[in-house]
Amino acid sequence: MVRVMVCGALGRMGREVVKTVVGDDRLQLVAAVDIRADGQDAGAAAGLKTGVTVVRDLTAAIEASHPDVGVDFTQPAAAMANIRTMLAAGVRPVVGTTGLTLGDLDEVGRLCDQTGLPALIAPNFALGAVLMMKLAVEVARYMPQVEIIELHHDQKLDAPSGTALRTAQLIAAVRGELRQGHPEEEEKLAGVRGGTVAGIPVHSVRLPGYVAHQEVIFGGLGQTLTIRHDSISRESFMPGVALACRKITGAHGLVYGLENIM
């Protein structure tokens, strides 16, 4: 049994993680942390009685429950503070919070080396999204002209999504920097062509009704090829979270991307 603590337990993703851990006979929920805690049971929002009370103090939760793994779905500033606290206390972080910078990743890597503990940070825990990225890398070897459109709910704080950035980085590693479009192209409306990663345009849509979606559109002579992934509900991320909780105990250093433990 892997002893699991959930940070951000009262958030939309946190509630799903709690439900998933409780329903997995290889995982045990031992602690739940959230800044909005008010003495409620961690499973109350899902109609479950877990026997674990949500608390505000991460350090106190760790000292009281001795978790093996801490799952974090919070916000970037909070996530980094939580990662530092967890690694210092001997807990392995599994992080789905997006918006972390390259500097943040470098710091986590150094902390892992210093403590001898692993940490997993994944832009996306949906298995289908990981496969989308793998397929995009393969297509890019033959069709290097590509644009990415990511669509999320209107409460998402960061744009573009971590998944879109990761997809662009993986494609760029295969095809390199490439100037796309007409060399004299002119934006009549600032930002209309999106942001770019190694010349790859990335576009973000934020609307109510969406959960998490991405299209990777490749163009070639007389043809296009589109790879699309849709997370219809937040349940789509949970098999990946459960897998990460089980696999991280045997990993080493910073693991960036779920594909590295699949």
Q: pLDDT at position 223, please?
A: 98
123 in Cβ contact with 257 (< 8 Å): yes
Q: pLDDT at position 31, please?
A: 97
Active-site residue flag, 152 = yes
pTM: 0.86
Q: How far apart (Å, rounded) are the C-alpha atoms in residues 49 and 42? A: 8
Amino acid (1-letter code) at residue 86: M
Q: Could you say which of 49, 66, 134, 156 is catalytic? A: 156
Helix (H, G, I), strand (E, B) or coil at 84: helix
Bond before 160 cis per omega within 30 degrees: yes
Of 159, 219, 166, whose CA–CA distance to 194 is shortest? Answer: 159
Percent of the chain's residues with pLDDT above 70: 100
Q: How far apart (Å, rounded) are the C-alpha atoms in residues 21 and 61? A: 17
Every domain range in the chain assigned CATH 3.40.50.720: 2-121+235-260
CATH superfamily of 127-231: Dihydrodipicolinate Reductase; domain 2 (3.30.360.10)
Q: pLDDT at position 125, please?
A: 95
pLDDT at 126 over 90: yes
Q: pLDDT at position 41, please?
A: 93
Backbone φ and ψ of 85, nearest 5°: -65, -45
Q: How far apart (Å, rounded) are the C-alpha atoms in residues 2 and 30? A: 10
201 in Cβ contact with 195 (< 8 Å): yes
pLDDT band at 76 (very low <50, low <70, confident <90, very high): confident
- Determine the average pLDDT of the residues in 33-60: 92
pLDDT at 256 over 90: yes
Q: Which residue has the higher pLDDT, 185 or 5?
A: 5
- Determine the average pLDDT of the residues in 205-234: 97
Q: pLDDT at position 179, please?
A: 87
Q: How far apart (Å, rounded) are the C-alpha atoms in residues 65 and 76? A: 24
Q: Could you say which of 152, 203, 213, 247 is catalytic? A: 152
The pLDDT tens digits for 129-184 are 999 999 999 999 999 999 999 999 999 988 999 999 999 999 999 999 998 888 89
Task: Give the right CATH number for 2-121+235-260 from 3.30.930.10, 3.30.420.40, 3.40.50.720, 3.40.50.10490.
Answer: 3.40.50.720
Every domain range in the chain assigned CATH 3.30.360.10: 127-231
